[in-house]
Amino acid sequence: MHAFSRRLLVLLAFAAWGLAGCGSMAPTTSASLQVGGALDRPAKYAVSELSSRPATTQVVHFSSGSGAQSHTYVGTSLWQLLDGSGIRTDGAKMSDALNRYVLATGADGYRAVFSLGEINPAFGNQQSLVAYAEVVDGRTVPLGVSDGPLRVTAPGDTKGGRYVSRLAGIELRASESQVRGTGGGVSTAVAVSGAVDKPMTFDLAALKAMPSISRTVNGSTYTGVSLWTLLHGTTGIKVDPTVKNASMAMYVVATGSDGYKAVIALGEIDPDFGNKMALVAYSVNGAPLDRNGMARLIVPGDVKMGRSVSNLAAIEVLASPRAAP
Ligand SMILES: Nc1nc2c(c(=O)[nH]1)N[C@H]1C(S)=C(S)[C@@H](COP(=O)(O)O)O[C@H]1N2
Ligand SMILES: [Mo]
């Protein structure tokens, strides 16, 4: 069906729904959003409740199976929705908040992960919205039946894989990390485990043998190996081939020798999606990292360096489990 007539139909359906007193003509797709998980105030939001929250208009571009997409979405901030629901953390530990991820699920079971650090304005500052409308030819109309009534946006992603349509649930979870710190102190190797083809441990010589990349953060130039290259190109990432875009529901946990943890979504660093360069750095301004260990995770685009895990000891690749843990 033509996109315009589709939208017109949705408009009519909404109008009829309103007249019927929200009875029989409710759209078959999810007309509410379950916001839950590790929150003080989990809640179910009707589309009307979401659209009465502070609104942002956002122009996005991404590619999909239907070609190049450009949309002007109207929605409410995903971060503010979660933050306003009371993000429950273990004490005031920054590491605890950065060891979290947000799972977006569509009515069809399609899933995508954002790391909590990614959408936190103080860290990744990626401004995902829960969109409920779109500006088409200068008019604001509800999202159509194929992508709405709600859709999460992933501004900056090259492909549309994290733009979960028919959004039904947002869940905040602690990472499923299994690895513990090694008691602190200077790290001497980085162990890669989890959903990889070949679990491997990298020492300094192994990292230095790989193609190097440098990035300057706050005036310091870090040199190391691209986290994506290390995973995708070296250990391999084990992805469930039976699930559409299974890697969009996967993430990486970096753990320091002291047990400090930070989550990065695979979609965040995948060159086809977020394309963010994260580095497993082993030198700064040409010198060893010293007290920061043999290696340190560096996430250059972040506002604060909370995800730059020093004394990096472990990297896990994890798939978000389907059922809540
Ligand atoms: N619920 C749901 N959302 C989804 C998908 C899906 O299968 N189910 N596919 C994703 C993929 S792979 C892409 S590329 C885009 C396609 O967006 P478009 O239909 O607006 O082009 O939606 C994403 N959102
Ligand atoms: Mo896609």
User: Which ligand number lies closest to the CA of residue 167?
Assistant: 1
The span from the CA of 124 to the CA of 262, in Å, is 12
User: Which ligand number lies closest to the CA of residue 112?
Assistant: 1
Question: Is 273 within 8 Å of 199 (Cβ atoms)?
Answer: no
Q: What is the pLDDT of residues 272-305, one digit of tens each?
A: 999 999 999 999 999 999 888 999 999 999 999 9
Residue 51 vs residues 88, 148, 155, 165: alpha-carbon distances, Å: 25, 13, 19, 17
The span from the CA of 60 to the CA of 48, in Å, is 23
pLDDT at 178 over 80: yes
DSSP annotation of 90: S
Which of 317, 315, 201 shows the shortest CA–CA distance to 261?
Answer: 315
245 C-beta closer than 6 A to ligand 1: yes
In this predicted structure, what is the pLDDT of residue 323? 76
Note the pTM of the prediction, 2 decimals: 0.90
pLDDT at 23 over 70: no
In this predicted structure, what is the pLDDT of residue 15? 43
Ligand 1 centroid, distance to 240 Cα (angstroms): 18
Interval 116-129 mean pLDDT:
97
Ligand 2 centroid, distance to 112 Cα (angstroms): 12
pLDDT band at residue 92, thresholds of 50, 70 and 90? low
pLDDT at 14 over 60: no
Interval 95-108 mean pLDDT:
94
Higher pLDDT, 28 or 195: 195
95: which 2 tokens?
A: 């590491």
69 C-beta closer than 6 A to ligand 1: yes
In this predicted structure, what is the pLDDT of residue 165? 97
Question: Is 227 within 8 Å of 278 (Cβ atoms)?
Answer: yes
Residue nearest to atom 10 of ligand 1 (CA): 161
pLDDT at 176 over 80: yes
Residues whose CB falls within 8 Å of the CB of residue 139, separated by 6 or more in sequence, listed in order? none
Q: What is the pLDDT of residues 29-67, one digit of tens each?
A: 558 999 999 999 999 999 999 999 999 999 999 999 999
Ligand 1 centroid, distance to 244 Cα (angstroms): 10
139-148: Cβ within 8 A, 24+ apart: 140/74, 141/7, 141/10, 141/11, 142/7, 142/10, 142/11, 142/14, 142/47, 143/10, 144/3, 144/6, 144/7, 144/10, 145/6, 145/9, 145/10, 145/27, 145/29, 146/6, 148/10, 148/29
In this predicted structure, what is the pLDDT of residue 266? 98
Higher pLDDT, 263 or 93: 263
Ligand 1 centroid, distance to 322 Cα (angstroms): 19
What type of residue sits at position 316? Answer: E
In this predicted structure, what is the pLDDT of residue 191? 98
Q: What is the pLDDT of residues 215-247, one digit of tens each?
A: 999 999 999 999 999 999 999 999 999 999 999
66 C-beta closer than 6 A to ligand 1: yes
Interval 177-196 mean pLDDT:
95
160 C-beta closer than 6 A to ligand 1: yes
Mutate which of 30, 33, 60, 64 for ligand 1 pocket (most atoms within 8 A of beta carbon): 64
Residue nearest to atom 24 of ligand 1 (CA): 164
Nearest atom in ligand 1 to the alpha carbon of residue 67 is 21
8: which 2 tokens?
A: 């017109």
Least confident of 92-106, 135-149, 220-234, 249-263: 92-106
In the chain, what percentage of residues exceed pLDDT 90? 84
User: Which ligand number lies closest to the CA of residue 164?
Assistant: 1
Ligand 2 centroid, distance to 290 Cα (angstroms): 43
Residue nearest to atom 21 of ligand 1 (CA): 64
Ligand 2 centroid, distance to 107 Cα (angstroms): 17
24 C-beta closer than 6 A to ligand 1: no
